[in-house]
Amino acid sequence: MNVAQVLTRLGQAAPWDKAADWDPIGLQLGDPQCEAATVAVCHEVTEAVVTGVEEIQIDLLVTYHPLLFRPTARITAGRSPAGRAYRIIRAGTSLAVTHTNFDVAVGGVADALAESLGLIDTTGFGPVAAAESIKVVTYAPTGSADLIADAMAAAGGGRIGNYTNCSYQAEGVGTFVAGEGASPVTGTAGLLNREPEIRIEMTVAASSRESVLRALIAAHPYEEPAFDVYPVHANLGMAGRVGRPNEPRTLQNLVDEAADALGGRTLRVAGDLSRPIGRVAVVPGSGSSYVRPAAAAGADVLVTGDVGHHRVVEAADLGLSVIDPGHLATERPGIQRLYALVAGIVPEAIDLTHLTDGEGS
């Protein structure tokens, strides 16, 4: 199996198009065609992880946290993300990131956090702004609709998560008057024509806009195909989960369970510890921006990391308690899921998830 094939399998479980638009997921370093016989998994690319990569001679390192979050002008030696990238490249190792796409995936990091706290009847909340997408709409004679839709899909359109060739088609009637010099495929020039047509709608990644439109025009039988293009926010993944405890809980009970399940070195709490808890919202990692969505989802408490003072005040105003076990602690259950996922693809995967500096932060 090569690197590209491993990434394809990862994308089937955690679709790449569900990642946040700011998130540098996918292959960050290396050659997609290189062999991936030896694969390792880590939570974060620390100095200890890079040393392990060098010692074990790993072909592909799959990390949860991206190594290079910001544009990098120089890859030079030193104790920095760029320095670690330099060492990884020298070791001949490829580096792939599966981050917010794995957060929102079914069975991913958000689900793992909810399950670690014993939540049941969970649903998603907190949509993640994914990469820009558009909706392409065209109108075709009934006998040509499938041909056009297939051409658009082959050019990169109609991909939703782990599904391809996704479109919506509806019957209708199109009207036109063909002017002088026109050669209409159907109807009569100079008259108002009413023709049965199929409306085809397809969601397209903005990056595939040109290729899909070229394919549409090439496959369309009309002399002048009509089509619309407009921006959409569609098929968004959900960053958090909200559910109920499997038995009655107070905030104090939930605090104790979070400490046991997540193993954070520090755990901060805001709220009345005697308060009965009916619904619990969880967001792995840095989820303080989801205070208001959690309250809107009917949660009594939000469990997440990196919650600052002003967010706590906002939560209190909304009647929402907060448990903050730390950024890494809320991700820890999901990281073991990531290792299990990779091990299911490459059975001899190496677990480097314990080599993370500052655990519990």
- Quick one: pLDDT band at residue 19, thresholds 50, 70, 90? very high
Residues 190-223 have pLDDT tens digits of: 899 999 999 999 999 999 999 999 999 999 999 9
Instruction: State the Cα–Cα distance between residues 114 and 119, nearest whole angstrom.
Output: 5
Looking at the chain, which residues constitute the CATH 3.30.70.120 domain(s)? Answer: 133-232
In the chain, the amino acid numbered 59 is D
Say which CATH topology domain 3-99+333-351 has: 3.40.1390
Alpha-carbon distance of 359 to 64, in angstroms, equals: 14
The values of phi and psi at residue 9, to 5°, are -65, -40
What pLDDT score does 68 carry?
96
Question: CB-based contacts of 178: which residues, under 8 Å, 6+ apart?
Answer: 184, 187, 188, 189, 190, 193
In the chain, beta strands by DSSP E: 26-29, 39-42, 60-63, 94-97, 119-127, 133-141, 168-177, 192-205, 227-232, 238-245, 249-250, 268-270, 276-277, 280-286, 301-305, 321-324, 350-351
pLDDT of 250 strictly over 70 = yes
When the pLDDT of each residue in the chain is averaged and rounded to a whole number, the result is: 94
Mean pLDDT of 54-69: 96
DSSP string for 272-303: -TT-EES-EEEEEEE-GGGHHHHHHTT-SEEE
Phi first, then psi, for residue 240 (nearest 5°) are -120, 175
Residues of the chain with CATH 3.40.1390.30: 3-99+333-351, 106-129+238-325
What is the structure's pLDDT at 258?
A: 96
pLDDT grade, residue 360 (50/70/90)? very low
Confidence band for 264, pLDDT divided at 50, 70 and 90: low
Residue for token digits 């016989």? 37
CATH code, 133-232: 3.30.70.120
Structure-block tokens of residue 223: 């002399």
pLDDT digits (tens, 9 = 90+) for 111-148: 999 999 999 999 999 999 998 999 999 999 989 999 99
One-letter amino acid of 194: R
Q: Which fold has domain 106-129+238-325?
A: 3.40.1390
Confidence category of residue 180, pLDDT binned at 50, 70, 90: confident
pLDDT grade, residue 265 (50/70/90)? low
Q: Residue 359: what pLDDT?
A: 41
| CA-CA-CA-CA torsion sign (254, 259, 263, 267) | positive
The whole model's pTM is what?
Answer: 0.89
- Write down the pLDDT at residue 245: 96
> 269-320: per-residue pLDDT in tens?
999 999 999 999 999 999 999 999 999 999 999 999 999 999 999 999 999 9
The DSSP code for 331 is H
